[in-house]
Structure 1
């Protein structure tokens, strides 16, 4: 099911891509752009975006790469997403506010469903049963995995569990996101994220303006 924002004048937008591709920066800049036009977007993230979901986030992004099996990861991500949906996303959309999220269901489709095992069917089944919504617009930031991984590890955020799977994993992720863009061409747009951040932000702002129009 697609997002339900446009009929009430709000958009549900997700930013996706490999680790270190600049999603958080561009999500923040998009929120600033929309605020400058008089809109009141909610800027959020996954895993997280609500108190319970933030508790689960620490279980997922910290620690040893082999801490969880892919199946366990799927269940943890879905639990966090359900809390995020109930407490942040749906209330905002119902109030007519745009929602901009740094990651949503497509990350689980790619990270756990496609690259850590042939589990896409399981991901989609649980998503349909307990989430039941996808963004109106998904911006996939696409860039060289080696550059992105170097950038991601340089942050030293302590949330490096997925970066620690290594470069080959990041290449598989990139392939997965590109395949997803081809699978959902009406919702997903590939963005060249290897450019100057200002140029990327300008392109994103133009795409969102077109959707709002």
Structure 2
């Protein structure tokens, strides 16, 4: 089995989502020698955002395939193949100004590809990627769950679940929130997420 581990936080060693995603991979691989882990850090090694030249080149053989566009197409194909080869995908993500890091959005844009991971049949979208397990480890500074008055402002977990649902996958989320409220809330939020991780099995 293959695990694809994606980190996207720009906070490096200070990142709670990185801590949680690492703990998740460690939990899944503990005592297992049949799991191969591929790691991609989209913050340290960013994937370019989509460009008009890239999309034009994908859609037409007559488009201007400059060396830069050719390299971008090759990278996009590699990122997609890496995702398709994974049985389990673990993604560490924060909530930045109500949404996911833009570096992670750039990665999402390379795996939502018409004809590869979804298609339209009779005018309706159909996901083409069943059978993968998606684990999201999400860190949030505020509290957005339950009856929180800012629950509707949360667009990392909701966006990722929507994106993966669109291609036929149901994402599971482990969330640590309230991390910026105060030290007690941070400790409680992390402990709750770590307990959920400890219960995971591959």
**TM-score normalised by the chain length of structure 1:** 0.42
- Determine which structure has greater relative contact order: mean sequence separation of CA pairs < 8 Å that are 6+ residues apart, divided by chain length: 1
Which structure has the larger Rg over C-alpha atoms? 2
Structure ranking higher in helix proportion: 1
**TM-score normalised by the chain length of structure 2:** 0.44
